Structure 1
Amino acid sequence: MSVTADEPLLFSPLPLGALAESAMLSMADVVFLSKLPASTLSRLWRNEHWLDRVSGATLQQLVAVLPGLAEYVTRRSYGSRLGTVLRECDEAGLDISNGRIGALLSDGPPAQHVATTLAAASSMMRLDSHGAVSNLARCWGASQDVALDALFSAEPHGLLADMAPLVEKGLQLIDILDGGTNSLHTTVGYGILVHKLTKLTGAVPADTSPHARERNSAFAYRSGTIGVLLRSGDTDASVAYSRSLDQNALLRRNELWSMTSFYADMPQSSDFSLPAKGGLHNTEAAMSRDLASSNEAYLHYLVTSAIPVLLEHDQLFGAATGEIARQLRDRLERGVSDKRVVTAGAKLLKSMP
């Protein structure tokens, strides 16, 4: 459900009777349609907090007969959570406007993702390392990343009026976590923090190594590298990353897991295992978009690292190698200034089935 920027973000509770009256229904009408006892409805009719007291079975019967009730229940549910995390952010010293939240929700990610992002911000400001990585890890995914980008972006598109306090706390958390553990949530949450801070500041805030021997360090190394590519367009960083992948099987495995889980083609397995086969439809669509629009450093990463690793897993690349090849040819024909990218792109095209 979308929310416009000028709507109240935190939806005020309404009595059941007000919801019925907006649908031109009286209590007698609702009793007749729902087959609920009048005594049950009378206890809820003028109570603003009826939703906290109604049973699941009664709510189902009401939803079946009251237009707009399901939408109201949804709005109240995420509105309540948003209200809680916004208060926590305010108490932690973050300046977030309802207008920016509303604008993000109008065409962006679901409200649930926005609330999780804000919960991560609140945890970061309190230096709650467990809460920060746990919430950040739940932001792994293409839709969730839209909300995270809004958190880690400057005005006018960012959620924060002043990024400095969050960046300061984020850098402190990097030192506290120091790479974290190999658990799924700590690895992903720490890696996301490394990536976002790198993308925002231009400098990798942690000591990441291309000689990774643990999955947490492999994920962090990739996270920092992608942040550099997106921030500075440094093709040298992509060249170094590609060489590292050629020399380190763990990095190649992490690359495959990262791409396919981020685009929801494969599950986020707790042990980072991968199924032998699996469709790559979402990843293929993302590759096509990125080939057409990314900066040249990221384009080099796609043709030397991401796409070759994906092709190793599935030679047909979700039966879409033709579309990938077409997008790459079109991009090269439009003109690429870095000869290393042109050479790598031509090499990939020649090798594709």
Structure 2
Amino acid sequence: MGLNMSDVAAFSGLDESTVFRLWDNAEWLDRVSGRSLQSLMASIPGIAEYSRAHAIRKRLDGLVTDLGSEGLAVDLDALEGSPVPQQLLLNALEAGLRIVRGEANQRTSSFIARFWGREPDTALTALYSTERGQGLLTDPAKLFESSVELAPRLNRKTYSFHSILALNILTHQVSKVTGSLEADLGFEVPGRQTAFMMRGVVMGSLISSGDIELAERYRRELDATPVYAALEEWSFPTYMRDGRISSDFTLPSSLSLRNTANEVLREIADYNDAYVYYLASTYIPLALKRDPAFGGRLAELTRALEERGADCEDRRIRETCNTLVRRLKELP
């Protein structure tokens, strides 16, 4: 715009001496105060956009360097082409750095636990992805190995809510990529930790392998173990932010599953047959007990199950979908 120092000072309300001190300083953005920066962003075109881009680039450059020193190369083209907000992708890269460094402490557990949720999980999925052009790392093999090594070391307390979430998230991501139940992830941990970690492994393996026998074993386990069923019911609504993430793994008695319904409908359309079997045989019946209206999407759910079930080759899946469809049609 061709503004000079006096113009900037006049428009922003800053003293000319302040503007003069920053004018020729290449590091001005690191030196300007928060209040002065707000004034500049609100009055001078381009400052807000530059500030955002500078902050992201500075953090990215640091993460690229640090990850490189640990043997992990960042695919910058994949990062820049991703539809996921870059801030979330940078958070995922930082999680990867902590994992590959083996930082087995409460801060790491707490940081990884923040990825419980649809949007941050999408970023973490990009970190672990092996798909060229989609994965944030050119070769995430070392990340897989480090995750398996780190997971049991995060379990240093008998009960820690963040460590439970972190264990679930790590095991889910690894099993989703490998498609197998890693033996090293099967370490013994008590109570809810065992149940929630098992869910993470099973969901990841189902998504990757499409193993209907695994889905059936998981269903039987939930039928036999109340704590598994309780955690299963808690997982979707908190992941989709229909319910508050609570350290006691409880949900309010009255809960509308609007966001959960949207996600389940997406998964019915996009995921493999074994995962659809899990939804129809295990999760959706639990969800209907909590919210019989299924977030106001019963009609769409009925139609989606009817159409998807008809396309499944396995008779068990077809029959399970048909049974649930008949039940849904009988609801008032």
Superposition TM-score, scaled by structure 1 size? 0.85
1:299-352 Cα distance to aligned partner (Å, 9 max, x none): 00111112111111111111111111111112223x210111111111111222
1:269-304 Cα distance to aligned partner (Å, 9 max, x none): 233232222332211111111112221100001111
> Structure 1 residue aligned with 2:179, among 202, 220, 226?
202
> What SS is found at the alignment partner of 2:102?
coil
Cα 1:289–1:95, aligned 2, differ >3 Å: closer, same or farther?
Answer: same
2 CA distance for matches of 1:308 and 1:55?
55
Kept after mapping to 2: 8 A contact 1:300/1:344: yes
Specify the alignment match of 2:93 in structure 1.
118
The one-letter code matched in structure 1 to 2:327 is: S
2 CA distance for matches of 1:189 and 1:180?
13
1:141 aligns with 2:120: no
Kept after mapping to 2: 8 A contact 1:151/1:158: yes
Cα 1:74–1:184, aligned 2, differ >3 Å: closer, same or farther?
Answer: farther
Deviates most, 94-103 or 61-70: 94-103
What's the offset of the Cα at 1:208? 7.0
Specify the alignment match of 2:315 in structure 1.
339
Kept after mapping to 1: 8 A contact 2:237/2:243: yes
2 CA distance for matches of 1:203 and 1:92?
26
> What SS is found at the alignment partner of 1:62?
helix
1 CA distance for matches of 2:54 and 2:234?
36
Specify the alignment match of 2:168 in structure 1.
191
1:99-132 Cα distance to aligned partner (Å, 9 max, x none): 232222xx2x222211121112112222112254
Cα 1:227–1:118, aligned 2, differ >3 Å: closer, same or farther?
Answer: same
The one-letter code matched in structure 1 to 2:175 is: T
1 CA distance for matches of 2:174 and 2:156?
14
The one-letter code matched in structure 2 to 1:276 is: S
Kept after mapping to 2: 8 A contact 1:182/1:214: no
> Structure 2 residue aligned with 1:69, among 34, 37, 47?
47
Identity percentage over the alignment? 35
Superposition TM-score, scaled by structure 2 size? 0.90
Greater per-residue helix proportion? 2
Specify the alignment match of 2:256 in structure 1.
279
What's the offset of the Cα at 1:24? 3.5
Cα 1:342–1:117, aligned 2, differ >3 Å: closer, same or farther?
Answer: same
1:34 aligns with 2:34: no
1:91 aligns with 2:69: yes
> Structure 2 residue aligned with 1:154, among 130, 134, 137?
130
1:327 aligns with 2:304: yes
What's the offset of the Cα at 1:194? 0.9
The one-letter code matched in structure 1 to 2:119 is: S
Deviates most, 305-314 or 33-42: 33-42
The one-letter code matched in structure 2 to 1:53 is: R
> Structure 2 residue aligned with 1:296, among 265, 270, 273?
273
Gaps of 5+ in 1: 1-22
What's the offset of the Cα at 1:176? 3.0
1 CA distance for matches of 2:273 and 2:242?
26
2 CA distance for matches of 1:279 and 1:208?
36
1:173 aligns with 2:141: no
Kept after mapping to 1: 8 A contact 2:179/2:206: no
Alignment length (residue pairs): 325
1:174-253, aligned counterparts within 5 Å? 174-177=151-154, 181-205=158-182, 206-207=185-186, 214-253=191-230
